[in-house]
Amino acid sequence: GKLLEGEDLKGLNELTMNRIFSTRDEGWLQGSPELKSVNVMTHIEKLDKLLPGALGHYNRLSERCHPNSLGHHQMFASTDYSNGNVTYDSAKAMRDVTAIIAGLTLLGVAEHCLGELSVLSERVSELHHRVSPS
């Protein structure tokens, strides 16, 4: 927003390059320190300030997806300790359905943001052609 309003093509280019080509690879960063990536949690924490609870939902959904005891057994299975059989437990699988629905709700937010990004991309293109005619 601020970079576009200020017609700062250099700043827009730096931001775009960082978001598209960012890395944590120390070798690459020696030659291009401006490409150091921002941790995704930084963005999720910012989202949580705009949409309180987003971080909590992210954490719960991450646990559901993580291949560990909580992500697999505790959320999806039951064990019969008399014989060691592990079976899928649909009641456990559905107990955190609110977090899943909240995650799905964010798809609408993402769709809106992508629409806004499309409009901003057009504005950047128009700015580039106006300021830097070929």
List the beta bridge partners of residue 78.
87
pTM exceeds 0.75, yes or no: no
pLDDT 10s digits, 34-73: 899 989 899 999 989 998 988 988 888 787 777 676 667 7
pLDDT 10s digits, 105-124: 878 888 998 999 899 889 98
**Domain locations in the chain?**
1-38, 39-134
Min mean pLDDT across 15-19, 125-129, 130-134 is at: 130-134
The predicted pLDDT at position 18 comes to 85
- Tokens for 89, please give them: 């437990």
In a 3-state reduction of DSSP, which class is residue 57? helix
- Tokens for 55, please give them: 């971080």
C-beta separation of 55 from 45 below 8 A: yes
Q: Quote the DSSP letter at residue 36.
A: B
Question: E strands of the chain, at which residues?
Answer: 77-80, 85-88
Q: Give kind and range of the element (H or E) at residue 20.
A: helix 9-21
pLDDT band at 134 (very low <50, low <70, confident <90, very high): low
C-beta separation of 99 from 57 below 8 A: yes
